[in-house]
Amino acid sequence: MDCFPGLPPFPEDVVTHPLVVVDYLKVKAGDEEEIDKLYGAATGLGFWYLKNHGIDEANEVFVIGAETMALPLEEKMKYAESGGEKVFGYKAAGVCVIDEKGNTDIIEMLNVAKDDVVAWPQQVHQDYPRPATDKMDNILKPFVQKTVEVNHVLLDALSVKLGLPKDALSRRHRLDASSTCGVRCIKTPPEPEGWSEEKALFAAHSDYGSITFLHNRLGGMQVLAPGTKQWQYVKPLPGHAILNVGDSLNLLSGGLLRSNLHRVVPPPGEQFSHERWTVGYFMRPENDVPLNALVDESPLIAEAVAKNPERNFITNETAREWSIRRFNNIRATNYKGKENWKAGGGTENYKAVREAVDASVGATVPVNA
Ligand SMILES: O=C(O)CCC(=O)C(=O)O
Ligand SMILES: [Fe+2]
């Protein structure tokens, strides 16, 4: 039950951060206890496991990722993102900066826009490599539709707990409205020079969007839990997706829903020498949604904002502007030094969050390097 076929197990001697397990079917059925659990996780750590979500297509999305990354670089580059407004497609290794010193990443990604999947065979943004287009109809469409359906159930449950009208969040995340939502496949090669804290594969960050829905198989993702200094691994479990709240929901909810810091380091133990693959769906608000706390729709949110005057919950930036700005800020071609790197962040920029990162120490990682 604890193992993924063909992959070494997550080592038993590595400390992990336990996540609350939320049962999707119970939330869907309106089970109050389960909804309380979901709300507790979303306002506490901001991360939770989700079981019984039924999104079996995820396995095939891993195959799309593997087939795409196996193509010659020249072929992949035909579909490359190129910065500016062009944020979807293939992202080559080295395109992004991973820390304030300007070091670049070793990660390849394929980002397929939700808008393109839903409109297929019409194109809204761009074309994609064959492994993705061949499976648009039978894999990517149901993958996206089901994920959005599950997320809507979660958003409706969270809305009610936040004192909002039930559809206040889901109506800002409609399947057929333009947004920067997307399917993401990530390939991380084994790190040849061994693990070091200097070399987080994916730097400490909070996600820009609303809900990140990850199907992880190997360890590597770590969270910095509130009030702690030690980064801790989240252990992937078969049949359980890992979900987290992003900055957009944090802002809309006046900070009540937590968009927690996380990062990716090489997988621990025997997993270390394996390629690491992630499949995820990144749900973000519709393009024209202003990222301002919904104070007029919920007294609870209005109260939370009033109690936290140091933070700005009225960005007056739209969800699209917010995503595009943050996407571009981490591109190496836009790197202009430490201060500029910091200025482009999201909630990572809040003083308390930055202080937590600066004070943090890495997990003790027994690696086989
Ligand atoms: O690969 C992972 O487990 C997490 C990736 C991540 O944090 C992201 O894509 O925002
Ligand atoms: Fe992330």
Q: What is the pLDDT of residue 202?
A: 80
Q: What is the pLDDT of residue 357?
A: 63
CA of 316 to the centre of ligand 2 (A): 23
Rounded mean pLDDT for each run of 10 residues along the chain, 369 residues in total: 81 93 98 98 98 97 98 97 91 85 88 98 97 98 98 98 98 98 94 64 87 96 92 95 97 96 88 92 98 98 96 93 85 79 60 63 43
Q: What is the pLDDT of residue 4?
A: 84
CA of 291 to the centre of ligand 1 (A): 22
For the CA of 264, the nearest ligand: 1
CA of 119 to the centre of ligand 1 (A): 26
Model-level ipTM above the cut of 0.95: yes
Q: What is the pLDDT of residue 364?
A: 43
135: left (phi over 0), alpha (psi -120 to 50) or beta: alpha
Q: What is the pLDDT of residue 84?
A: 84
Task: Domain 21-360: give its CATH superfamily.
Answer: B-lactam Antibiotic, Isopenicillin N Synthase; Chain (2.60.120.330)
* Ligand 1 nearest atom to the CA of residue 276, by list position: 1
* Ligand 1 nearest atom to the CA of residue 184, by list position: 9
CA of 212 to the centre of ligand 2 (A): 7
Q: What is the pLDDT of residue 367?
A: 36
* Ligand 1 nearest atom to the CA of residue 212, by list position: 10
Q: Using a 6 Å CB cutoff, which residues line ligand 1?
A: 186, 202, 207, 214, 216, 221, 262, 264, 278
- Overall pTM > 0.90: yes
For the CA of 216, the nearest ligand: 1
Q: What is the pLDDT of residue 2?
A: 66
CA of 221 to the centre of ligand 1 (A): 7
